[in-house]
Amino acid sequence: MVGMALDLLLTVALAVTRSLAPPPAAGARPLDAVWRGELRGHPSVLVLRERGDGRLLGDLPSDPASWVSGGRRDGRRIRIDLAGGEGTHAWTGTFSGNLGGSSIAGTVIYSDLGAQAMRFRRSSIPSLIEHWLVFDAVEERGYRAPRILNASRAFVLGGFGQAEGCGFLGCAGAIGSWNIAGLDHAIAVAAEGDCPTPASLTGVWDASTLLVQGSWSRSTMACRPGATGAFMGGKEGLASLGDLGDAISLLRDFADAVEAESPLAADAFAATYLNDGTARADWQTVLGDLYAAFDDLDAAVTEVRQVVTANDDDVNPRVKLSPRLEWSLTVTGIPHGGGGRTTALARKAALVGNQDLFWIGREGGAMKFVGNGASEPFLLELPIAAGDQAYAAFGIWPYGVHGGGHPEGHPGVDLEYRAGAQVLASAAGTIDRIEANGEFPGQSDLRVQHRPSYATRYGHVGALAAGISAGASVTTGQPLGAAGDTGNGVSHHYITHWAVDRGIDQVCPLELLSPAAAGLFNTIWANAAYTEELTEPFPCNPVAVSFPLTRTWTRTSGSLAPRLDFIRLDAHTQDYRYVLRNAAGTQVDAGTVSSLQTNRGPTGGLIDLHSDGGAVRLGRYRIIGAQMLITWATTRPGDLAGATVYATVTAP
């Protein structure tokens, strides 16, 4: 299955990768090697680097849900601090043992599993890591699934860990086998934690989609029922273990130089470094200011989570990114002016964190930070022009809401257009995909790649504009096509689904809007209304919620109940209950909500509260984000004059 590009990559990797665990020469750091052993009951790989003062940093490339959080070598005595997260379950572990020749042996004490023996041996096998993503075809929950290969490309070991929450396989675990015969993949996994459920996946590689697609089955266990389903998987990148070691050495040398307040710390950055307009010279200034402002610097490197240094022809284009390194840096120090130790610099280098220390490459044979090559920060414009908005359906249906065919949470923003209005490119880029929309015949879904980590999607677009085709370059504001008609043939709603990809995640676009785009969004949002806003009223709602879902509204002015709770019972329906409470929070009335109509404008929408005691309140309401105006009586008010004003918290 692996193409010619991987043949070349593996050949080069084997030719240039030095033995990763030679007998240590005089003066060599004996822990700087790849180690193989068993962690939490399954085979694992540990890559270690020793800092100048004996502290340790490292990576667990076969365990995407676990990481090295610290440690120290003192002669032959070794301590390695471990941590991990599996769904809502987090754990820590501390290994204490001895270095003896080619092995590290001792005991690790886990916060959840107690004491276990641990023994790791040096590994001199040149290996390759394939980073995969595996998704359930129904739940659409994904896992990172690295598989480590030996020089013959045979599977050695691997693991899986949640990328988007615990799903069909559990939260995290080990890959026992991943065999490939021609185009056929056979995978055996075992979830860990409180429910060690085994499962198997069988699929076929499709070269046209660069995906493995097939079925999965989960064994019946006392803690979990058996089940079956469909899955798909794609490769997101590669790394030799030699590259991985060099990447960790980059972090070690950078941290040591920062602690020494050395100008050589800037050598970690390529001469051509550029990230959102920040150059190497800017980092020299940052480091100089840091040294001038603090004494006794301490630079901690933790959570090395993933290293990807190469792509081949089989890497799926939806997740294909430049070489990258996910890790965390925290620098603390004593201010020159006095006071206690404080954080002087903090970076979580990841797609969802700071990306200035995320992108890596080689310069002069050495691993360096290279940045994303962008001359300015990434900002988006709205894909709709001022005056092209409409409100026949909802105006804006926001990110994260549950309903409307998205009980799992809406992964984008739906914008409603006037008839004939054009959907505009939110930023300059290249169209990397145009597909037929599966719901509305004659309409298309487009994806535009902007930067190594950012792309935008435009769903159910009607007739495409001139020059719009796969591979074409587009400029900011360029028409892509007409907004698609999503009506029922009698009523017409011209709506486009707009989403932002940041790596494998679809994120709320609002945090990336330019000032002009944010102003236009707020103008449209003021008149938007949708049936889910009683409990999910914000333009960016959290995707991870549970039902029944309650939203508490607290009175800020007016004469109605001091507190009003709305409870949405199910993500698949619009069934609501309400609870009226007094100032002490005691329930004074409860019932159901009906006749929910989201009319816009100053008169508001219609809402009826049917008390369990039989009374009916006929009301009007209007919600704009964290504020709600509502009024009711035994006969319906004609407008919102004299309405009570409520507010709700903006945090999830």
Question: In angstroms, how far apart are the furthest CA atoms of the chain?
Answer: 91
d(CA 185, CA 182): 8
Written as one letter, the residue type at 212 is V
d(CA 460, CA 498): 10
Beta pairing, strands 422-424 & 479-483: antiparallel
* Per-residue pLDDT at 13: 37
User: Which value, to the nearest 10 degrees, does the dihedral of the CA atoms of residues 155, 160, 164, 166 take?
Assistant: 140
- Encoding tokens for residue 421? 């209005």
Grouping H, G, I as helix, E, B as strand and the rest as coil, residue 260 is coil
Question: Given this chain, do its domains 128-236 and 396-528 carry the same CATH topology?
Answer: no
What is the DSSP code string of 224-256? B--EEEEEEEEEEEEEEHHHHHHHHHHHHHHHH
Which CATH number does 128-236 carry? 2.40.128.30
Grouping H, G, I as helix, E, B as strand and the rest as coil, residue 517 is helix
CB 553 within 8 A of CB 535: no
- Region 172-194: mean pLDDT is 91
Going by pLDDT thresholds of 50, 70 and 90, the confidence category of residue 11 is very low
d(CA 287, CA 258): 8
What pLDDT, in 10s, does the model give residues 389-403?
A: 999 999 999 999 999
d(CA 105, CA 119): 4
Query: Could you tell me the pTM of the whole model?
Result: 0.80
- Region 234-245: mean pLDDT is 92
Helix axes 241-259 and 4-16, enclosed angle (nearest 10): 50
CB atoms within 10 A of CB 592: 15
Examine the pLDDT at 15 and tell me if it is beyond 80: no
- Region 498-510: mean pLDDT is 89
* Per-residue pLDDT at 127: 84
- Region 545-566: mean pLDDT is 97
Examine the pLDDT at 209 and tell me if it is beyond 60: yes
Going by pLDDT thresholds of 50, 70 and 90, the confidence category of residue 164 is low
* Per-residue pLDDT at 493: 92
Q: Where are the beta strands (DSSP E) in 284-359?
A: 294-308, 324-335, 342-349
- Region 96-101: mean pLDDT is 92
What pLDDT, in 10s, does the model give residues 64-95?
A: 999 999 999 999 999 999 998 765 678 999 99
* Per-residue pLDDT at 226: 77
> Pick from 46, 78, 258: which is nearest to 157 by CA?
46
SS3 per residue for 604-616: CEEEEEEECCCCE
Q: CA 322 → CA 13, 169, 373, 472, distances in Å?
A: 18, 29, 11, 21
Which CATH number does 240-369 carry? 3.10.450.50
- Encoding tokens for residue 543? 């995707």
- Encoding tokens for residue 85? 């997260």
* Per-residue pLDDT at 17: 33
- Region 624-628: mean pLDDT is 95
What proportions of the chain, in percent to the nearest 5, are helix, strand and coil? Answer: 10, 50, 40
Dihedrals φ, ψ of 6, to 5°? -70, -35
d(CA 135, CA 596): 37
CB 592 within 8 A of CB 571: no
> Pick from 607, 608, 645: which is nearest to 624 by CA?
645
Q: Which CATH superfamily is domain 396-528 in?
A: Glucose Permease (Domain IIA) (2.70.70.10)
Q: CA 457 → CA 105, 450, 461, 466, 527, distances in Å?
A: 51, 11, 10, 19, 24
State which fold the 4-122 domain adopts.
Lipocalin (2.40.128)
* Per-residue pLDDT at 505: 81
In sequence order, the 6+-apart residues with CB closer than 8 A to the CB of 208 are: none
Higher per-residue pLDDT: 270 or 574: 270
Tokens 């950055």: give the residue.
269
Of 80-94, 179-193, 248-262, 356-370, which gets the smallest average pLDDT?
80-94
Domain ranges of the chain: 4-122, 128-236, 240-369, 396-528, 549-647
Going by pLDDT thresholds of 50, 70 and 90, the confidence category of residue 424 is very high
Dihedrals φ, ψ of 523, to 5°? -65, -45
Percent of the chain with pLDDT over 70: 93
Higher per-residue pLDDT: 158 or 544: 158
